[in-house]
Structure 1
Amino acid sequence: MQNTQGVILLSVERARQKLYRTQKRYGVLSHPKVIEQSKILDELLNQYYCKKAVCQ
């Protein structure tokens, strides 16, 4: 399970960096592309915490 968490954490970091770049490019947090990337990051974070807590 540790390896899976590591892969998810790597994906989280990449998604976070992409979110920062997207926000910088479009300049506002309410731009649809920024919101879309934020949702992707949220989903990855949910996956990570669910695996860590052994969600059902």
Structure 2
Amino acid sequence: QDRSRLGNGPENLAVLRHMVLNVMQKDGEKGSLRGKFKRAGWDEAYLAHLLTLF
């Protein structure tokens, strides 16, 4: 059973998803959001950069 589907879980994840999208769009780097998500998964320095924008 997935707890994220119960109670306030879906709303909390939606808010978190919107926050992450806003940070990705605020980043000055060129490229697609899909590419930025992949790069954040591969490159720890880029992920740290995104977290500083948070």
Fold conserved (TM > 0.5)?
Answer: no
**Structure number having the greater helix percentage:** 1
Higher relative CO (Cα under 8 Å, sequence separation at least 6) belongs to 1
Length-normalised TM-score, structure 2: 0.44
Length-normalised TM-score, structure 1: 0.42
